[in-house]
A and B are shown apart, each in its own frame.
Chain A
Amino acid sequence: GESVGLHLPTLSVQEGDNSIINCAYSNSASDYFIWYKQESGKGPQFIIDIRSNMDKRQGQRVTVLLNKTVKHLSLQIAATQPGDSAVYFCAEIGNEKLTFGTGTRLTIIP
């Protein structure tokens, strides 16, 4: 498969452990945030979103935390599985502009 982002930050996690992926956003006016997962050779896939009037949102095995004070977003994946190996990136919408982050490569150690 293709390699998207040859110099991405990487995170290696033991299978079964929890993963935490971080994202710092730039626009204090951003009011909507999205996490995407991108597997090798595929397009980005929506995971979970959160609006700025919330500080936490939970999905299936995933939780997104938003700290507006320090403009920080995190994605927590519980009980990481081999299928979670991918590049994860956040996106923010503010002032009618959608901006994507560069991403973090998550590698699962068997």
Chain B
Amino acid sequence: NAGVTQTPKFQVLKTGQSMTLQCAQDMNHEYMSWYRQDPGMGLRLIHYSVGAGITDQGEVPNGYNVSRSTTEDFPLRLLSAAPSQTSVYFCASSYSTSGVSTDTQYFGPGTRLTVL
């Protein structure tokens, strides 16, 4: 199994540009989520999904959209990038179908995004 994969690994955007961060998992996990990691702060939940067709907002959802058309994929879209969205983004998945997963979460390698 490849586990959780994310693309791209690095990305530089200009303010106002849009882009999609890709996330895929091959473990047949129901629960998937997106976090951002900033210096001096813990991981913060952006959006999550408990199954195909179901998404919900996390702690910091503004400026981000998600969709879950398949079990495997959970893309994160930035519609109009802002410098405040400069961060490292991690996708995670787990077996749990509950809103807050107590099962082991498997994290992807991350996408480092810089918005100029």
Contact = CB atoms under 8 A, between A and B. Distances in A.
Do A and B truly interact?
yes
Contact-size category for A: 20 to 34
Contact of A6 (B39, B90, B107, B112): B39
Contacts of B39: 4-7
B88 A2 contact: yes
Contact of A93 (B43, B102, B110): B102
Interface stretch (A10-18, A41-49, A60-68, A76-84): A41-49
A46 B100 contact: no
Contacts of B110: 2, 41-43
Interface in A72-110: 89, 91, 93, 96-103
Interface of B: 4, 37, 39-45, 88, 90, 92, 98-102, 104-110, 112
Given A96-B99, A98-B101, A102-B42, 10 more contacts: A5-B39, A7-B40, A43-B90, A44-B43, A44-B90, A46-B104, A46-B105, A49-B104, A93-B102, A96-B98
Interface of A: 2, 4-8, 32, 41-46, 49, 89, 91, 93, 96-103
